[in-house]
């Protein structure tokens, strides 16, 4: 599993003309599921996301987690995180999980975050063409992989 974590001042996802998810201060998660990912890896990733300290404390040090600052989380599926463009000019997505595996893993991740925090958890729409808008905060961006 690979997740791009971006600290944001705000973020939203629109499918067609409908906003499917929007947050103010928090984290935007771009989530890629690998074909060999397990439930244990997904749970580890969720715990890491809830605890990683990327928000500033009163001294200006990144010492607070999303849980500490009571921010929102916007979760967006993104199979292209497993795109491999080493050969040629058209990326291969062979490492990305097929939708029949990726969608339940994505949904389980959203459920886990909701059940293990009392934060505002919002989502995009799996396999949809989405417009993602965000205002980076910092910018602070991490790539987590398990």
Residue 115, helix vs strand vs coil: helix
Ramachandran sector of residue 55 (left: φ over 0; alpha: ψ -120 to 50; beta: rest): beta
- Does the annotation count 78 as an active-site position? yes
Q: Where are the beta strands (DSSP E) in 1-146?
A: 2-15, 18-23, 26-32, 55-56, 62-64, 72-77, 120-123, 131-145
Q: From the candidates 78, 89, 111, 126, which is the catalytic residue?
A: 78
Q: Output the pLDDT for position 44.
A: 98
Q: From the candidates 79, 89, 122, 123, which is the catalytic residue?
A: 79
Cα separation, 53 vs 55, in Å, equals 6
Dump pLDDT digits (tens) for 105-136. Answer: 999 999 999 999 999 999 999 999 999 999 99
For 86-95, the CB contacts below 8 A with 24+ separation are 95/34, 95/35
Task: Output the domain CATH number for residue 30.
Answer: 3.50.80.10
**23 lies in which domain range?**
2-145
Dump pLDDT digits (tens) for 12-71. Answer: 999 999 999 999 999 999 999 999 999 999 999 999 999 999 999 999 999 999 999 999
Q: From the candidates 35, 38, 80, 111, which is the catalytic residue?
A: 80
- Does the annotation count 41 as an active-site position? no
Q: Structural domain tally of the chain?
A: 1
Helix (H) or strand (E) holding 48: helix 39-51
Cα separation, 26 vs 98, in Å, equals 29
- Does the annotation count 80 as an active-site position? yes
């Amino acid at each position: 599993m690979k997740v791009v974590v971006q600290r944001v001042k705000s973020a939203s996802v629109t499918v067609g003309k409908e906003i499917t998810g929007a947050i103010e201060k928090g984290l935007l998660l771009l989530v890629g599921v690998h074909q060999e990912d397990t439930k244990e890896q997904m749970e580890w990733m969720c715990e890491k996301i809830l605890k990683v300290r990327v928000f500033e404390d009163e001294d200006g040090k990144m010492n607070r987690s999303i849980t500490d600052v009571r921010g929102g989380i916007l979760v967006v599926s993104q199979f292209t995180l497993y795109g491999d463009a080493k050969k040629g000019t058209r990326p291969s997505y062979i490492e990305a999980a097929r939708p029949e595996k990726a969608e339940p893993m994505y949904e389980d991740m959203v459920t886990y975050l909701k059940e293990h925090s009392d934060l505002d958890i919002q989502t995009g729409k799996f396999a949809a063409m989405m417009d993602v808008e965000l205002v980076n905060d910092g910018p602070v961006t991490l790539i987590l992989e398990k």
